[in-house]
Amino acid sequence: MNETIEKTERRGGALGRWFRLCPVQHCLSLLGLAVIGAYLLLRNNAAVMAAVCRGFVLPWQGFFRRLTARVPFSVGEALIVCGVLAAVAYLICTVLGLVRRPERLLRLYRLGMTGLTAFSLIYGGFCLLWGVYYYTSDFEAQSGIYGVPLSVEQLETVTRYFTDLVNRYGEQVARDEQGRFREDLDACLARSPDLYLAVERTVPCLAGDSVPAKPFFFSRCLSYIHFTGFYFPFTAEANINTDSPGCLVPSTVAHELAHQRGVAEEDEANFAAVLACLEDGDPVYCYSACLLAYIHLGNALYRADYDAWADNYARLSDVVRADLDENNAYWAQFETPVSQVSDKIYTGFLQSYGQTLGLQTYGKCIDLLVAYYYPAAAAAAEE
């Protein structure tokens, strides 16, 4: 019996010595992994996810949304930059320590545990503060607006409708000598807090705090990974890539604000962006939203009926084509291995939250656009 006690004590002592190697990393990584494990285990339980959302996520994000709205820059971007700089500094210090040789294995172990801690806390935080939205009632269920199977004729009719709309609004925005979109993006961002006020009255699930979208200072970096913007759930901020062509920046603002109001799926956020902009009525936002809708609808029509697509494309005004050309030329320069890896990582990220089509989930926006706007499009076609 004494031998058993001695073995237990030795094991306990060894465990204690192991834990003391880097106690902070051990505690934090276990916390993060516990959150990830609980999320993966319970995410298909809608009642639990809804309770977590109501009891923790919404209060957290409501508090930080109102707090960070008082700051003119993106707090999320500042945290990301500080995190990257800290990681680089820590890595350099670790490498220098390895060169000196003493306790090399210990340094490597601490480096690995620090990496695991960072991953578990960041991904665990995303699961808790954002992932729960994917397993509660989605936008379709909350709004009562559902995408439905559509015919090529319906797709063509709605595409024609948005072709005419984008032409009309395209004449109402400021342009340069070459006819390209040149509205003041700072003024556009300044208007963003009021963008959803009109649509809130008809689609109450889109109600939320009137806070601004934030320009991302290192926007060029976002372009290299094919991001036009992103929602940062830790600080509840909508971040916008203002280096990308201005014609689609207003619709990106609307898209990221939809995320801020709890619309998780990318395709639904695109539809909510178009809906909010058109309900708001501001020509700059309306033009950008119609251009976004036309791109999605036009791409689908191109695959379904090339002749119908060609007819619609021929109806586009010269200024709209100038914006499309500028947008295509801008993103063509970022077709690099870095962007391809980024797309694969983001696809995997979406799939980890149940969006099984990955980046292709943006196509569901088409079903919603056709279902919602077909009556108006059919009536306009008969006139």
Give bridge partners of residue 232 from the DSSP assignment: 237
- Nearest residue to 329 (alpha-carbon basis) of 245, 246, 240: 245
Predicted local distance difference test score (pLDDT) of residue 343: 53
Predicted local distance difference test score (pLDDT) of residue 110: 87
* Alpha-carbon span 155 to 149, nearest angstrom: 10
* Alpha-carbon span 315 to 381, nearest angstrom: 14
Tokens of 26: 């051990």
Predicted local distance difference test score (pLDDT) of residue 358: 45
The alpha carbons of the chain give a radius of gyration, in whole angstroms, of 25
Domain spans of the chain? Answer: 2-135, 147-382
- Nearest residue to 287 (alpha-carbon basis) of 241, 254, 328: 254
Q: Is 208 helix (H, G, I), strand (E, B) or coil?
A: coil
Predicted local distance difference test score (pLDDT) of residue 9: 45
What is the three-state SS of 276-306?
A: HHHHHCCHHHHHHHHHHHHHHHHHHHHHHCH
Q: Is 160 helix (H, G, I), strand (E, B) or coil?
A: helix
Q: What phi and psi values does residue 136 have, to the nearest 5 degrees?
A: -110, -170
Predicted local distance difference test score (pLDDT) of residue 353: 57
Predicted local distance difference test score (pLDDT) of residue 345: 59
Low-confidence ranges of the chain (pLDDT < 50): 1-2, 4-6, 8-9, 357-362
Predicted local distance difference test score (pLDDT) of residue 106: 83
- Nearest residue to 290 (alpha-carbon basis) of 254, 339, 328, 262: 254
Task: Give every strand in the sheet of 229-232, ordered side by side.
Answer: 214-215, 237-240, 229-232
| Total residue length of the chain | 383
pTM of the model: 0.88
Predicted local distance difference test score (pLDDT) of residue 355: 56
Q: What phi and psi values does residue 202 have, to the nearest 5 degrees?
A: -100, -25
